[in-house]
Structure 1
């Protein structure tokens, strides 16, 4: 619903942004009987959440318990205290653990949101006390987007890489089964393709599946829930500044339809507008160097730090501004944003090297830690690891995906776009030839490959222990022995793809308390102002405890904010 058909200017709650946290807070606020408006600067709703995996990290969730899973509050708190780097107050950690299970129960009971437990998806730091080998991450179920009606075209769609064959919806659990080549994966894929092929009525309208998957499914289910509650969503509505009276936030100034409007929020404003990763000036000011907005896997033009700047302008405290939710990315010509590289780094037979041809990290490590390692090695090597290069051979190319390259058994080189050669991927008959094309030291690369080939034979990575823990092995090939994450790099031709120090959002922002209220430097809350998601300082601190550690807290603190506003506290 666009702003030009709306004349109302007063609401109980104004939510800025339309990602999962923002929409969840709007649902909960409406459930309390409050009048709510959601404003979004883009012409699409869903934000970064829509292009994400949509997972949420929820310790002690009811789905895992129903399957006999064992978790505990104390164990989760023990894990979080260490995984967050010790820089988050215990009261905020407890607020998350207390409310995350309640949040998802509320949404599943009263809205159209549906999740299932990813029983095999381990926490990202299995070596830390209190971690679990699975059960804390929840995965969105598929959602029929036809129920969105006229608003379907304005739903932000996920990347083609999130879909089977670029067009068929599947859950993260199904994608994992295929990528790790578990028993029965081929039959599962054929079943998904058949379901898609037989949906004749929808295929006459669109080449894409009627079902949304992953983050797009989450956003679609939340938006449909807001439609059920008749909550308006104004697109193309750019937040400009807060309206403050007597020290209390009581509204927002926005620009829509070519003019500025002042909107009144009788009970509160909730910022859910993302981080500042698309603002190069703020990146240069706060993030480690080198840094570029066009390395980010988030939607260009969004997430420019408007909430951060507006909060600071009225005296808000900030934290973690030098941090991001790092993820290596690959730029593909004609695509609006780079693609994050998540699971593929664990597949056996691919290594990542710097310009010296040397490995500098366990390739299967969590994506935040992977880019952290890129920055550390950038300093240690004298600027040789940004960009880094992922290297693999013909055997890997045939069996596994890497970035936009689907396995050659599905998409041989002859079917790849011609302009991708020497822009997306490089190819050489020998490792030395490949190294010359990409500016990597040939002798260093050959020596590294020789060493890794020996590790593949023994199953032990003596340098970085790749494949040595349950997280690494989650995306390994279960058919490869003795280590599902290690295979030789020996069969030409050889391939390389460039990896940039990208991100899926920034971590730092407005500091909040356990009620999601934005606080001043003295710790006192700014009345009427709340911040959730990436525009707030992450409750996960410097770490990334598990899959869904961005959206899970955004939705949970959205739930907390709406409840706090409704209680009139």
Structure 2
């Protein structure tokens, strides 16, 4: 790579990688970003783009500051009493440094906004709260110049909305006010385009905001370049072997290497070996194949939490395509049943909890179903099932059934009609009473966040009674793996003996989560990725300064 002047190598161009590179640059290093895909942004660009940052500056500025011990007690409770000193130190490092990471990015130009009412994912755990989430404001992709064309999902034409608009846009048909709000969002999007802008929201806004800083700092980025091996000299990682268009090359990184290339969600062999899963339904990007994980393991790096993932219930659209099931589960008029036609959980809980419970109840080996009625589809709007063309594709693939009666629907799904009729009948009784006597759906702030506040007596419970009735195959999908390379509180990779491997760092889904098997709140994945990218870049800069 003649012409590039660098001494710190970052593998991956998502939030973890870009924040790590930005931090290293601020610390005096000369980073380069290496990206396997032919587009940059990683899974971050495909995400909701929010970050769970307790005690962030926007909370303080809006008079919603909190005692740091509140978030600490919450995260420690999620880790559990079995957590060791290293695990606790990683969690504490996140809590201490996440606000500093966000502040640093604000100094560099990221325009943060706050999702003030979003609740944490475990409302019954001590220390749980609301309003710990921040996200990038809408960003004009054309500000990036030619670099924008190589962004992941650059051509996607969607209104630049923030996280707080997801739920209201879903309910746009339910009131004149929400309809006007949705129409205003679409009109604003069109006006921005007429002014020559490329308005981006959510994960694309975050990725573009970070890339804007990368460009300002003249940090080089190489696309379509795959990590093959790590170079070790005298016990320290000092470079990498990469491959581009069939040609391999050694790159020197005397200040170190940061692995931020995602997990192994799309590597069937690794998922089978590490998770015992013959089949998975991942929404991770195709390049998420475990390259960094395998390269680190080859030089003696330890691993952790590899049996788990960031669960996300998903409807099956085709054998290759899934659709995320977020608000669908919480809105009135829907339930999830197993292959026998029985409910077995509170469907409105967080996607992490719901996906795991589905997996534990056999949804990976048998078909479970999301049951809806005709009123539901007329009342609420979704990217997938609201579109007739997608419903047709699902029906053609056998993943969506339609019938005029619950009994006929059950027959099409291979369920005992009397059992499904009994399940729906019992649920309808709960809906009329406003209280889920089996699983307590709709009783927490989180359940109600994605529900319909205009529906009573319980915003998450509604009868399934108006034909036609629908049943969609629902899978225990995921957003990626949340275990990987074992790291310490500085982002340093640890070997199998528990000692740091000099010059090697990992962040994001390339490393084990600082939250163990839990998912504290919306954006915890990206916040952890960015924070440990920040910690890794900071430590590498200090280490290089000491060596120099």
Structure 1 and Structure 2 fold alike (TM over 0.5)? yes
> 2:326 matched to 1:326?
no
Single out whichever of 238-247 and 151-160 deviates more from structure 2: 151-160
Answer yes or no: is the 8 Å Cα contact 1:351–1:391 preserved in 2.
yes
Corresponding residue to 1:168 among 121, 143, 159: 159
Answer yes or no: is the 8 Å Cα contact 1:344–1:403 preserved in 2.
no
- Partner of 1:99 in structure 2? 97
Going from structure 1 to structure 2, the CA distance change for 1:512 and 1:419 (only over 3 Å counts) comes to closer
Going from structure 1 to structure 2, the CA distance change for 1:18 and 1:117 (only over 3 Å counts) comes to same
Shift of 1:167: 2.4
> 2:355 matched to 1:371?
yes
Shift of 1:143: 0.6
- Partner of 1:503 in structure 2? 478
Going from structure 1 to structure 2, the CA distance change for 1:455 and 1:319 (only over 3 Å counts) comes to same
| Aligned positions, number | 538
Shift of 1:187: 2.3
Structure-to-structure mapping, 1:334-413, within 5 angstroms? 337-378=321-362, 386-402=366-382, 404-406=384-386, 413=388
- Partner of 1:144 in structure 2? 140
RMSD value, Cα: 2.0
**Structure 1 counterpart SS, 2:24:** helix
**Structure 2 counterpart SS, 1:266:** coil
Shift of 1:313: 1.3
Corresponding residue to 2:170 among 167, 172, 179: 179
> 2:516 matched to 1:541?
yes
**Structure 2 counterpart SS, 1:37:** strand
Relative to the length of structure 2, the TM-score reads 0.94
Q: How far apart are the structure 1 equivalents of 2:258 and 2:519?
A: 24
- Partner of 2:206 in structure 1? 218
Q: How far apart are the structure 1 equivalents of 2:259 and 2:4?
A: 18
Answer yes or no: is the 8 Å Cα contact 2:238–2:252 preserved in 1.
yes
Q: How far apart are the structure 1 equivalents of 2:168 and 2:185?
A: 13
> 2:78 matched to 1:83?
yes
Q: How far apart are the structure 1 equivalents of 2:203 and 2:315?
A: 20
Shift of 1:256: 1.1
- Partner of 1:46 in structure 2? 41
Corresponding residue to 2:291 among 297, 303, 306: 306
Going from structure 1 to structure 2, the CA distance change for 1:313 and 1:339 (only over 3 Å counts) comes to same
- Partner of 1:27 in structure 2? 22
Shift of 1:36: 1.0
Corresponding residue to 2:469 among 494, 506, 526: 494
Q: How far apart are the structure 2 equivalents of 1:387 and 1:417?
A: 18
Answer yes or no: is the 8 Å Cα contact 1:296–1:337 preserved in 2.
no
**Structure 1 counterpart SS, 2:243:** strand
Q: How far apart are the structure 2 equivalents of 1:321 and 1:158?
A: 32
Corresponding residue to 1:115 among 104, 112, 116: 112
Answer yes or no: is the 8 Å Cα contact 2:74–2:127 preserved in 1.
yes
Answer yes or no: is the 8 Å Cα contact 1:320–1:537 preserved in 2.
yes
Q: How far apart are the structure 1 equivalents of 2:502 and 2:526?
A: 25
Corresponding residue to 1:516 among 479, 491, 502: 491
Shift of 1:377: 1.3
Answer yes or no: is the 8 Å Cα contact 1:476–1:485 preserved in 2.
yes
Q: How far apart are the structure 2 equivalents of 1:429 and 1:459?
A: 26
Corresponding residue to 2:6 among 11, 15, 19: 11
Answer yes or no: is the 8 Å Cα contact 1:355–1:384 preserved in 2.
no
Shift of 1:202: 5.9
Shift of 1:271: 0.4
Answer yes or no: is the 8 Å Cα contact 2:193–2:199 preserved in 1.
no
> 2:393 matched to 1:419?
yes
Answer yes or no: is the 8 Å Cα contact 1:158–1:215 preserved in 2.
no
- Partner of 1:558 in structure 2? 533
Report Cα offsets for 1:483-505 as digits up to 9, x if no partner. 10000000110011111121101
Answer yes or no: is the 8 Å Cα contact 1:319–1:537 preserved in 2.
yes
**Structure 2 counterpart SS, 1:436:** helix
Q: How far apart are the structure 1 equivalents of 2:120 and 2:55?
A: 13
Answer yes or no: is the 8 Å Cα contact 2:279–2:364 preserved in 1.
no
Going from structure 1 to structure 2, the CA distance change for 1:289 and 1:443 (only over 3 Å counts) comes to farther
Report Cα offsets for 1:95-119 as digits up to 9, x if no partner. 1111000000000112x32221111
Q: How far apart are the structure 2 equivalents of 1:167 and 1:510?
A: 35
Q: Which runs of 5+ in 2 are unaligned?
A: none
Answer yes or no: is the 8 Å Cα contact 2:442–2:458 preserved in 1.
yes
- Partner of 1:163 in structure 2? none
Report Cα offsets for 1:18-45 as digits up to 9, x if no partner. 1111111111111223211101111111
Going from structure 1 to structure 2, the CA distance change for 1:70 and 1:180 (only over 3 Å counts) comes to farther
> 2:149 matched to 1:153?
yes
- Partner of 2:181 in structure 1? 188
Corresponding residue to 1:74 among 62, 69, 72: 69
Q: How far apart are the structure 1 equivalents of 2:348 and 2:155?
A: 22
Answer yes or no: is the 8 Å Cα contact 1:14–1:39 preserved in 2.
yes
Q: How far apart are the structure 2 equivalents of 1:56 and 1:358?
A: 36
Shift of 1:330: 2.3
Single out whichever of 29-38 and 234-243 deviates more from structure 2: 29-38
Q: How far apart are the structure 2 equivalents of 1:118 and 1:254?
A: 40
